[in-house]
Structure 1
Amino acid sequence: MWQGSAVDLDAYLKRVNYEGDVAANLSTLRGLHTAHVDAIPFDNLDALLGRTAVPLDLGSVQEKIVRQGRGGWCLEQVVLMAAVLDRIGFTFTAFAARTRIRTGNKFGPALHVALCVQLDGERWLHDVSFGAYGPHEPIQLADNARLDGDWSFDLVREPTGERVLRFLRPEGPAELYGFTTDVRYPSDFELLNHFCLTHPRSPFNHRMVLQRTQPKVRHVLVGTVLTEIRPGEPATVRELDEAEALSAPEEIFGITLESRDLQALGKTLADP
Structure 2
Amino acid sequence: MTDSVWQGGGVDLDAYLARVGYRGDVAADLSTLRGLHAAHVDAIAFDNLDALFGRTVVPLDLDSVQDKIVRQGRGGWCLEQVVLAAAVLDRIGFTFTAFAGRTRIRTGNKVGPALHVALCVELDGERWLYDVSFGAHGLHEPIRLAEDARLDGDWSFDLVREPSGEHVLRFLGPEGPAELYGFTLDVRHPSDFEILNHFCLTHPRSPFNHRMVLQRTRPEVRHLLAGSTLAELRPGRAAAFRELDKDELLSAPEEIFGITLEPGDVQALRKFLDGP
Does TM-score exceed 0.5, indicating one fold?
A: yes
Q: 1:270 aligns with which of 251, 268, 274?
A: 274
Q: 1:20 aligns with which of 17, 24, 31?
A: 24
Q: Partner letter of residue 242 of structure 2?
A: R
Q: CA deviation at 1:258?
A: 1.9
Correspondence for 1:167: 171
Q: Does 1:213 align with 2:228?
A: no
Whole-angstrom distance in 1 between the partners of 2:130 and 2:137: 14
Correspondence for 1:199: 203
* 1:243 counterpart SS class: helix
TM-score, scaled relative to structure 2: 0.97
User: Identity of paired residues, percent?
Assistant: 81
**Count, aligned residues:** 272
Correspondence for 1:142: 146
Correspondence for 1:184: 188
Matches within 5 A, 1:84-99: 84-99=88-103
Whole-angstrom distance in 2 between the partners of 1:33 and 1:260: 31
Q: Partner letter of residue 160 of structure 1?
A: S
Whole-angstrom distance in 2 between the partners of 1:195 and 1:13: 31
Matches within 5 A, 1:112-151: 112-151=116-155
Whole-angstrom distance in 1 between the partners of 2:178 and 2:166: 16
Q: 1:42 aligns with which of 43, 46, 50?
A: 46
Q: Does 1:254 align with 2:258?
A: yes
Q: Partner letter of residue 21 of structure 1?
A: D
Correspondence for 1:10: 14
Q: CA deviation at 1:9?
A: 0.3
Whole-angstrom distance in 1 between the partners of 2:129 and 2:268: 37
Q: Partner letter of residue 147 of structure 2?
A: D
Provide Cα deviations, 1:120-154, integer angstroms capped at 9, x if missing partner: 10000000010111100000000000000000000
Whole-angstrom distance in 2 between the partners of 1:260 and 1:185: 33
Whole-angstrom distance in 2 between the partners of 1:112 and 1:250: 25
Once the two structures are overlaid, the 10-residue window that deviates more, 50-59 or 259-268, is: 259-268
Moved over 6 A (4+): none
Correspondence for 1:57: 61
Once the two structures are overlaid, the 10-residue window that deviates more, 256-265 or 69-78, is: 256-265
Gaps of 5+ in 2: none
